[in-house]
Amino acid sequence: MLISKFKGPVTRAVLVAVAALLHSHVALAALPIQHWTQAGGTQVYLVESHGIPMLDVQIDFDAGDRRDPADKAGLATMVANMNAKGVAAKSGLPALDENQLSQAWADLGAAFSARSGNDRMSFSLRSLSYPDLLPKAVALAARQMGESSFPEAIWLRERERIGAAIREANTRPATLAAKAFAAAVYGNHPYGFETTEASMGRTSVTDMREFYTRFIHPCRAKVSVVGDVTRAQADVLVKALLARLPQNVTARCEALPLVAEVAKLTAPVTEAIAFESAQAHVLIGQPGYKRSDPDFFALTVGNYTLGGGGFVSRLTAEVREKRGLTYGVYSYFSPGLHAGAFTIGLQTRPDQAEQAVRVAREVLAKFVTEGPSDAEVKAAKDNLMGGFPLLIDSNAKLIANVANIAWNNLPLNYLDTWTAQVEKITAADIKAAFARKLQPDRMVTVVLGAGA
């Protein structure tokens, strides 16, 4: 089969859309996302992309780490980890243990895995689209979605392995600094929960099955599909993927309980942790903002200047370029369903930690007080808008974007209007947004390993 010109939506239309910002009217979407809801409540989002005979599917559920019970931190992550450890016998199909399951995936040249983040549990499928392979991959994924067996003996082993890895991680300066930071920023909020040997010790496969039953259901699924299928094929495929989950609509689709918000800090927190390492680790930050916040674009453009633009950011200029204090310094927000942390991070030689902290704080304070210059705003926009095609130039990047739109209930034309949203932002917008969101005098500062 010849690789033909990419027939999907990522065409020169994107460039045209970018170039024609100031004259943009409602036009054909540059990146058409098809969306429909299936009878059982499953929401489907599709971008057709027929240039390569492959398919990516991502299924997201409100079953992320924030749904962990307080005494069982890590439950969602363990559920995701254990999902691939076997499927039960059902409807005449034999059980598959962890090895049979992974061999089956390898034999199809396909992959299926689950992972858990702060907010969502994601199941990801990548397969070739050949007619003799894709249906088998879908069928296997359906079994893994619907009949994951959560074998106890395997959990006991995994718990041991992960426990040993946790102990190892706790010898590393970066881990210890991050733990202290998360605890101080998040307090009791689930975003700050720490998976420990103790919390895993309280977690059973019964807990996992209950978690799974409660949160994984077709009516709760947001499914993104990017690749070599038509709409009709995608509809059939998604139904098949979820067909082995309980199909009863009424029983499991009531609204889930609200999760508490991240509390604001009322006073600065400073922690100096003694540690013997070649580098001191510095983390400065506070709760940030929610993804749904209208300040999203102002903060995104502003953070590029502060510490997100990599080599061209203020933090890099002051801490690395001018003073040679560090290899990497950065700032970022992590907006989610709740106000994920704003973080500034760097590592430096222990005797330089004090200076590095001072410089980072000065950069931050100045930025929050004054905002960016017009030149900086222009540079940020040039990069973000000019570089937009780089965000969507592969199926892998497309699926991440589509899933983001699906998850955050963004408009289907979000990618078509994205550069226009960036273009609107002014220096005053950024200054005001940062002043609303950040309080430099009330942040958490963790410094691990500093000293003469």
46's CB contacts (< 8 A; 6+ apart) are: 33, 34, 35, 224, 225, 226, 229, 231, 234
369-390: b or e for each residue (b if 16 or more CB lie within 10 Å)? Answer: eebbeeebbebbbebbbeebee
Among 116, 144, 343, 401, binds other proteins (CB under 8 A): 401
214-230: b or e for each residue (b if 16 or more CB lie within 10 Å)? Answer: ebbbbbbbbbbbbbbbe
What does the alpha-carbon distance between residue 187 and residue 181 come to, in Å, rounded to a whole number? 10
CB 430, CB 301: distance < 8 Å: yes
Q: For residues 219 and 241, which CB has a smaller minimum distance to other proteins in the complex? A: 241
Q: For residues 51 and 69, which CB has a smaller minimum distance to other proteins in the complex? A: 51
71's CB contacts (< 8 A; 6+ apart) are: 199, 202
75's CB contacts (< 8 A; 6+ apart) are: 67, 68, 69, 203, 207, 208, 211
CA atoms within 13 A on the CB side of 311: 1
347 binds other proteins (CB under 8 A): yes
Site string for other proteins, 350-369 (x = CB under 8 A): x--xx--x------------
The footprint of other proteins on residues 49-68 (CB under 8 A) is 51-54, 56, 58
150 binds other proteins (CB under 8 A): no
Among 223, 325, 339, 425, binds other proteins (CB under 8 A): 325
83 binds other proteins (CB under 8 A): no
The footprint of other proteins on residues 171-200 (CB under 8 A) is 171-174
Q: For residues 71 and 107, which CB has a smaller minimum distance to other proteins in the complex? A: 107
What does the alpha-carbon distance between residue 348 and residue 144 come to, in Å, rounded to a whole number? 45
What does the alpha-carbon distance between residue 444 and residue 268 come to, in Å, rounded to a whole number? 6
224 binds other proteins (CB under 8 A): no
164's CB contacts (< 8 A; 6+ apart) are: none
310 binds other proteins (CB under 8 A): yes
Among 322, 424, 436, 442, binds other proteins (CB under 8 A): 322
Q: For residues 243 and 385, which CB has a smaller minimum distance to other proteins in the complex? A: 385
Site string for other proteins, 279-298 (x = CB under 8 A): x-------------------
Q: For residues 42 and 124, which CB has a smaller minimum distance to other proteins in the complex? A: 124
What does the alpha-carbon distance between residue 266 and residue 343 come to, in Å, rounded to a whole number? 17
263: how many CB neighbours lie within 10 A of its CB?
Answer: 13
Binding span for other proteins by CB under 8 A among 71-79, 178-186, 194-202, 300-308: 300-308
Among 20, 165, 260, 365, binds other proteins (CB under 8 A): 165
**H/E/C letters for each residue in 154-172?**
HHHHHHHHHHHHHHHHCCC
Strands 444-448 and 269-273: parallel
The footprint of other proteins on residues 403-442 (CB under 8 A) is 403-404
Q: For residues 5 and 25, which CB has a smaller minimum distance to other proteins in the complex? A: 5
Among 328, 424, 435, 436, binds other proteins (CB under 8 A): 328
Q: For residues 185 and 219, which CB has a smaller minimum distance to other proteins in the complex? A: 185
**Torsion 169-170-174-177 (CA) sign:** positive
Binding span for other proteins by CB under 8 A among 159-167, 190-198, 211-219, 257-265: 159-167
The footprint of other proteins on residues 98-127 (CB under 8 A) is 98-99, 101-103, 105-111, 113, 124, 126
374 binds other proteins (CB under 8 A): no
What does the alpha-carbon distance between residue 280 and residue 276 come to, in Å, rounded to a whole number? 9
392 binds other proteins (CB under 8 A): yes
Q: For residues 130 and 247, which CB has a smaller minimum distance to other proteins in the complex? A: 130
Name the minimum Å distance from CB 11 to other proteins.
8
Among 21, 29, 88, 133, binds other proteins (CB under 8 A): 133
What does the alpha-carbon distance between residue 138 and residue 55 come to, in Å, rounded to a whole number? 11
28 binds other proteins (CB under 8 A): no
SS3 9: coil
385 binds other proteins (CB under 8 A): yes
